[in-house]
Structure 1
């Protein structure tokens, strides 16, 4: 009898641990959304790895700027080269200046996709109505989790926030994916 109780307790503990590990990024994502909607900068600072988020945003925006520059240059190699030379420092400066707890809050509240010329919305950007914003969640491996935010008025403009595991149950917003894989 005692052996069955111990075995049952161990199985329950393992199942509970597995459920907690699985659910933890969902709870973090919801905490980020709540903090953003409430404008709680202190809560966001606890949930965001700002150096990693800035690096990811810079990389994504530079890639997007490169594509836009090539499209706009229309074969003019000199103009494209000049644009490719000037874009990274401009993106880097904008990201460094605007990616703050308030900027991340505005980004999450608005659900708008960052652009090279505007990495985050203005701090006073109103929240998109909850009923007009859709969220979906997906694991992208054991230690990466994607939260996709889509607005009803811009269905093709997805904001994909990347959370990364920082401990068994601890997740941080550490990146953004502006060119999501269509297979995800």
Structure 2
């Protein structure tokens, strides 16, 4: 009887320890899930695996975010140029017409690869994501984005809230920052939904 009681207590202790370990492992996986999603979408975008990229990117939300951010970039440029420049209104109209094609070029697996590799859109007319190694050079009539940086950008990543995860990129102390924003899509799934070109 004593042996059975002692065995029961040991069994309960072992079961309780296993339950705690499983819960800790599950919580650790849930916490790490956006880091895992970031790694997977970056690898898929670099490999041009559009099917996997589609699983980790909400393209309609990303497109809307890019449109808003690029329009804001162009507006700031026009505001700076307005002082003493009578052609600023024409420039603003041309810039507004170019937002759509620029957004469309970055709301693609190539654009996601550029964004996640530290090469955001700059809002330049005719700009496209830069070609990756092995790609053909872009046609001369289309302006590629900036060349890939010689060194990878400095990145910081972390939770902004329980359901928002932000990756911030910067190339150097004086360079502008920008952020890629992921939202939770289920318990452990995350999707890239926005870009903040102001950091």
Relative to the length of structure 2, the TM-score reads: 0.73
- Note if contact 1:139-1:146 (Cα within 8 Å) is conserved in structure 2: yes
Structure with higher Rg: it is 2
Q: Residue 98 of structure 2 aligns with which residue?
A: 90
Distance 1:52 1:137, change over 3 A: same
Q: Return the match for 2:123 from 116, 123, 141.
A: 116
Contact 1:113 1:157 in 2 (8 A): no
Distance 1:10 1:63, change over 3 A: same
1:67 counterpart (53, 76, 79): 76
- Number of equivalent positions: 176
- Specify which structure has the bigger relative contact order, considering alpha-carbon pairs within 8 angstroms and separated by 6 or more residues: 1
Question: For the residues of structure 2 that align with 1:98 and 1:177, how far apart are their CA atoms?
Answer: 14
The superposition leaves residues 3-58 of structure 1 with CA deviations (integer Å, 9 ceiling, x where unpaired) of 32332233222211211111000111111222233333333222211111111111
Q: 1:120 to 1:4 in 2, by over 3 A?
A: farther
Between the aligned partners of 2:128 and 2:174, the Cα distance in structure 1 is 19
Residue among 159, 173, 182 paired with 1:163: 182
Whose helix proportion is higher, 1 or 2?
A: 1
Report the 3-state secondary structure (helix = DSSP H, G, I; strand = E; otherwise coil) of the residue aligned with 2:177: strand
Question: Which of the residues 144, 156, 161 maps onto 1:141?
Answer: 161
Tell me how far apart the structure 2 counterparts of residues 162 and 120 of structure 1 sit (CA, whole Å).
21
For residues 100 and 68 of structure 1, the distance between their equivalents in structure 2, rounded to whole angstroms, comes to 25
Q: CA RMSD in A?
A: 2.8
Give the conservation status (yes or no) of the 8 Å contact 1:57–1:175: yes
Bigger drift between 132-141 and 114-123 goes to 114-123
Aligned equivalent of 2:16: 7
1:45-64 equivalences in 2 (<5 Å): 45-64=54-73
How far off its partner does 1:94 sit? 2.5
Distance 1:177 1:138 in 2: 15
Q: Secondary structure at the match of 2:68?
A: helix
Q: Is the 8 A contact 1:144 1:163 kept in 2?
A: yes
**Residue deviations 1:107-143, cap 9 Å, x none?**
333x1231222664234477545x5332221111111
Q: Equivalent residue of 2:193, what SS?
A: strand
User: Unaligned stretches of 5+ in structure 2?
Assistant: 1-8, 134-146
Segments of structure 1 that go 5 or more residues without pairing to the other structure are none
